[in-house]
Structure 1
Amino acid sequence: MSCPAPSRHTKPSAEDCVTGFVDLRNVRLSYGGASSATLALEDLTISVAKGEFAAVVGPSGCGKSTLMKLATGLIRPNAGTVEVAGHEVDGPVSIAGMAFQNPSMLPWRTTLKNVMLPLEIVQPHRKRLSRERSRYVSLAESLLELVGLKGFGEKYPWQLSGGMQQRANLCRALIHDPALLMLDEPFGALDAFTREELWQVMRDLHAEKQFTTILVTHDLREAVFLADKVFVMSARPGRIIETKDITFARPRPIDLTYEAGFNDVVHELREHIADARAAA
């Protein structure tokens, strides 16, 4: 029997018939051997709808990055199920793009060639790259222009600022047109002004491309500004203890982050995390 599609404003639970684009159901994961195992996640259930922008927040060490590895197939759960686009995940998910806090650009490659790197790895692009290189170069240059890096394709990473490298990192995550974008603290190492600039870049990219996005972050302002829905995790072993729908109209101007209503939501999330830390 098929399950009805979830509402964008429905809080999923372990008992729900979850049918999102990304579904983790009753997931349990531990690290280490039998005698020294660390339980990272227990009874974790989360659902993210197609095209939705979700953020995951919680205390340090609660398993946020572990959740990301599960959703992309980099690790497997000890129990429970992980599904992406209706298929159980049993290996690396080729329809996912990933961006991390450290852009990790290869210093011997130009910015353009760094952006195009996934095309040399991910099928079917790898097969097509040699005969369709001009098309892919145009796509990479279009992405660079979209994030404000027009004309910087021939520069090397050491010639770019940290914020510019992170912009290029976003392009690299998107070059193979992923249906799912996973962001692990991508703006955490940047100064406040650059971080806010890139929030707006990310806002506009998501509005144009409509990829499903999961953002792992410690920055609650970032989560509330970017996300349609924020999931709050408990202290380890991690599970979802609160789901907050973010109802501010899109597109959201950066000035919204200084308004009382916005900060009320930030404080509400902070209280949930404080409670989670106290309960640990």
Structure 2
Amino acid sequence: MPPPPFVQVEQVSMRYGGLEGTLALQAADLAVARGEFVAVVGPSGCGKSTLMRLVTGLWPATAGRVTVDGRPVSGPVAIAGMAFQNPTLLPWRSILDNVMLPLEVVEPHRRQLRRERARYEAEARELLAQVGLAGFEQKYPWQLSGGMQQRASLCRALIHRPALLMLDEPFGALDIFTREDLWAVLQEVWMARRPTVILVTHDLREAAYLADRVLVMSARPGRIIAEREVGFQRPRRLEDTYAPEFQALVHELRDHIAAAREEGPDAARREAADVR
């Protein structure tokens, strides 16, 4: 018998603004195995980020059940690390101190930090070196480029060795060359540590390059309408993304999203506009 999913979302709905508010998710189901790297894609406004916030316990679901590591989610999930489109580094703290911030909050590291600070600091420096930021530990965020800040943000999400890593468009604000560099960095870190990863992205090439499995969401109200295993061998190379089979996967995902957009709540408005 296979082990239970590490992350499970069962018939989850989320409505903002009360009974007459916006229904962002409706009867959504999701299952992610321990150590799996899953990417979630879909039309804009389909509820991808809402799904992330429900899994990490930042928001409660309106209906349904969310479990992580077999426990119902009823508040912030301590075993999760998070990184977002904007790095949100604290400008008055050095890069090293920014990376170590979760250790001041998350147990048991918070209790251990004072007496084991040297060990934790060594781990933070090692992580920064792994993403190409050796020598920048004492710089401040404003002294780093956007791509370097995002590398530091990724380190901050990983420093407490979370079992679950939640990534919400972490590279969306970066240029294509920096983004591709960080794909390789993230793949390397994941292969070394094997956390369970859920990545929300609009970039289908990114999803196919990084994930073991890609899930496609419907238009709002969101739910999972398709999934695709990604069978390409790891470690993956950037040149692999131009191979015919890789391009075929990207086009297949694009077709799913195009169909979801046509069936979504904005379809009638688009059809009316075409008639006019």
Task: Quickly name the TM-score band, shorter chain normalised.
Answer: over 0.9
Q: Any runs of at least 4 consecutive aligned residues in structure 1 with deviations exceeding 3 A, and if so which?
A: none
Alignment of 1:84-123 (within 5 A): 84-123=68-107
1:5 corresponds to which residue? 2
1:39 aligns with 2:36: no
TM-score, normalised via structure 1 length: 0.93
2:7 corresponds to which residue? 22
What is the alpha-carbon distance in structure 2 between the residues aligned to residue 5 and residue 59 of structure 1? 32
CA deviations 1:49-98 (Å, max 9, x no partner) are 00000000000000000000011011111211100001111110000000
SS of equivalent to 2:43 = coil
2:60 corresponds to which residue? 76
SS of equivalent to 1:81 = strand
How far did 1:139 drift?
0.7
What is the alpha-carbon distance in structure 2 between the residues aligned to residue 189 and residue 121 of structure 1? 28
Alignment of 1:75-224 (within 5 A): 75-224=59-208
CA deviations 1:20-47 (Å, max 9, x no partner) are 100001111111022x321111110010
2:49 corresponds to which residue? 65
SS of equivalent to 2:26 = strand
CA deviations 1:170-194 (Å, max 9, x no partner) are 0000011100000000000111100
Q: Of 251, 260, 280, which residue of structure 1 is paired with 2:235?
A: 251
Structure 2, gaps ≥5 residues long: 265-276
Task: Calculate the aligned-residue CA RMSD, in Å.
Answer: 0.8
CA deviations 1:211-243 (Å, max 9, x no partner) are 000000000000000000000000000000001
How far did 1:250 drift?
0.7
TM-score, normalised via structure 2 length: 0.94
What is the alpha-carbon distance in structure 2 between the residues aligned to residue 33 and residue 168 of structure 1? 38
How far did 1:5 drift?
2.0
What is the alpha-carbon distance in structure 2 between the residues aligned to residue 101 and residue 90 of structure 1? 25
1:10 corresponds to which residue? none
Identical counterparts, % of pairs: 63
How many residue pairs are counted as aligned between the two chains? 264
What is the alpha-carbon distance in structure 2 between the residues aligned to residue 243 and residue 65 of structure 1? 18
